[in-house]
Amino acid sequence: MDRHSREIVGCFVGARDESGALGLWDSLPECYLAAECYTDLLTAYQSIVFGNQHHPGGKGAQHIERFNLTLRQRVSRLVRKALSFSKKLSNHIGASWLFIHHYNQSLPL
């Protein structure tokens, strides 16, 4: 998430391990690779984001955590024991991407 515009600039659906952190890093546009990164305290990020760029915890990660809660509330198939579900992983990922694109389009310019 871009901290100033709140636009979602990269996304990865998968496990919260080193391969997932690398997938998230690979999904970022090149202009964001030199930016400061605020993450949660997951150790997998420390092996991907180097040096002074990485800031674990703190206020910067709160924005993305708020978005994660919004995503979970609005995309019902992301909630445990929900009545709506995806039979295919590709449909699950597609529903998430549709919400992210709609979210980005609804942001003020």
Return the pLDDT at 30.
92
* Whether the model pTM is above 0.85: no
Return the pLDDT at 58.
67
Q: Which of 12, 56, 16, 19 is nearest to 38 (CA)?
A: 56
CA atoms 85, 89, 90, 92: torsion sign:
positive
Does residue 94 lie in a domain region? yes
Return the pLDDT at 101.
94
Return the pLDDT at 104.
94
Return the pLDDT at 57.
78
What are the residue ranges of helices labelled H in the chain?
18-27, 60-74, 89-106
Does residue 89 lie in a domain region? yes
Does residue 6 lie in a domain region? no
Q: Convert the pLDDT of each residue in 87-108 to its tens digit.
A: 888 888 888 899 999 999 999 8
Return the pLDDT at 8.
93
Q: Which residues of the chain fall below pLDDT 50? A: none
Which whole-number Å values give the CA distances from 73 to 45, 50, 103, in the listed order? 26, 33, 13
Domain that holds residue 49: 18-106
* Token pair belonging to 1: 């998430």
Does residue 7 lie in a domain region? no
Count of domains for the chain: 1
**Contacts (Cβ under 8 Å, ≥6 apart) of 47:** 18, 21
